[in-house]
Copies of this chain bind each other. A is one copy, B any other.
Amino acid sequence: MAPDKQESRVRVDLTAVVISVDDRAPHVLTVEQEPRPALPYGPLRSDHRTLQAGLRSWVEKQTGYRLGYVEQLYTFGDRTTTGAEAAEHFAHRRVSIAYLALVPVPGERAPIQGSWRPWYDLLPWEDRRDGDPPALASVLERLSDWIGTGRNRDPARAERVRLAFATEGAAWDEERALERYELLYEAGLVSEAAVDAGEEPTAGLAPVPGVAMTSDHRRIVATAVSRLRAKIKYRPVLFELMPPAFTLSELQRTAEALSGVPLHKQNFRRLVASQGLVEETGGVAVRTGGRPAKLVRFRKDVMLERPAPGVRLTASRRASYP
């Protein structure tokens, strides 16, 4: 039984998924923590004026980064421990409030502590910009074991896999990143699942490719990926990741890096233009390897004009960078 009365106070953690995009690769800010990398986090303190202020303060303290755009992601608080451990953990359950933060491409400025980790190292099956990644084939193979064959085949599992991973003609929905991670977790194919079940990480099935993280942090990253992929379509958050001036191709590469799918170049430009999302700075970018591109900047006024400005991307059938 819990030591104090059941209506106990709990420790509340603030956890940050800080994202930046460096040309082709989106990165997540991680702090190294044995044995596995973690997201920056820290407990809510009574001197934090707001939850967001608390988060900013922790990230700044732990990594040296001052955050720009921040939005709340989700609050996690389920007891994941089971069996014998449960009683012990009863009294000090944790609630963690996760935030998504975006920072412009950091360039040379490295974080004081921690490091930028490519998010497709964590979730390698999510990158379909150049067609199906090798990790996806591996994941699907493992999942087909989970589905079973013959008399042991579970049709409900098969259907879930079909939808989440777009097998058998279903369309790939890049926003289902969280669903895919959770499916793999449930199938016991990520090593966090074994750890949460109280086993050694090496016990059970060998995990699919992808770097595991502390606690439920990889799940939180997957939540951030899903949210961000959805959000760039109807809010101009993409620009939070860009430098003050950039080319349309750079913008497109950023959108593709996040969404993990190739986009149709001409239509992307038409969309950005028709929404009035950018204006020319007058400058041009050299060193493009071809015709110089005009530099543009974000038009902050769109926020005042359009109800839902964003980059309503639809994947092109073929890769844009063949």
Chain A interface (Cβ < 8 Å from any Cβ of B): 2, 6-12, 43-47, 49-51, 72, 74-75, 77-79, 90-91, 93, 95, 97, 159, 163, 171, 173, 175-176, 304, 307-308
Q: Are A45 and B304 in contact (CB under 8 A)?
A: no
Copies per assembly: 2
Q: A89 — nearest CB in chain B belongs to which residue?
A: B46
B-chain residues with CB within 8 Å of residue A12 when the two chains form the complex: 9-10, 12, 77, 95
Q: Are B43 and A7 in contact (CB under 8 A)?
A: yes
Q: A51's closest neighbor in chain B, by CB?
A: B77
Q: Is the interface of A mostly helix, strand, loop or mixed?
A: loop
Contacts of A8 on B, CB cut-off 8 Å? 9, 45-46
A72 to B12, CA, bound (A): 17
In whole angstroms, how far apart are the Cα atoms of A45 and B4 in the complex?
11
Contacts of A43 in B (CB 8 A): 7
Selected from B79, B171, B307, the residue in CB contact (under 8 A) with A50 is B79
Give the top 3 A-B pairs by smallest Cβ distance, nearest first.
Answer: A9-B9, A50-B78, A6-B45
Q: In the complex, are the beta carbons of B79 and A6 less than 8 A apart?
A: no
Chain B residue contacts of A171, Cβ below 8 A: 307
Contact A44 B95 (CB under 8 A): yes
Can you identify 14 A-B contacts, CB atoms within 8 angstroms? A6-B45, A6-B46, A7-B43, A7-B45, A7-B46, A8-B45, A44-B95, A46-B93, A49-B78, A50-B78, A77-B97, A95-B97, A163-B304, A176-B307
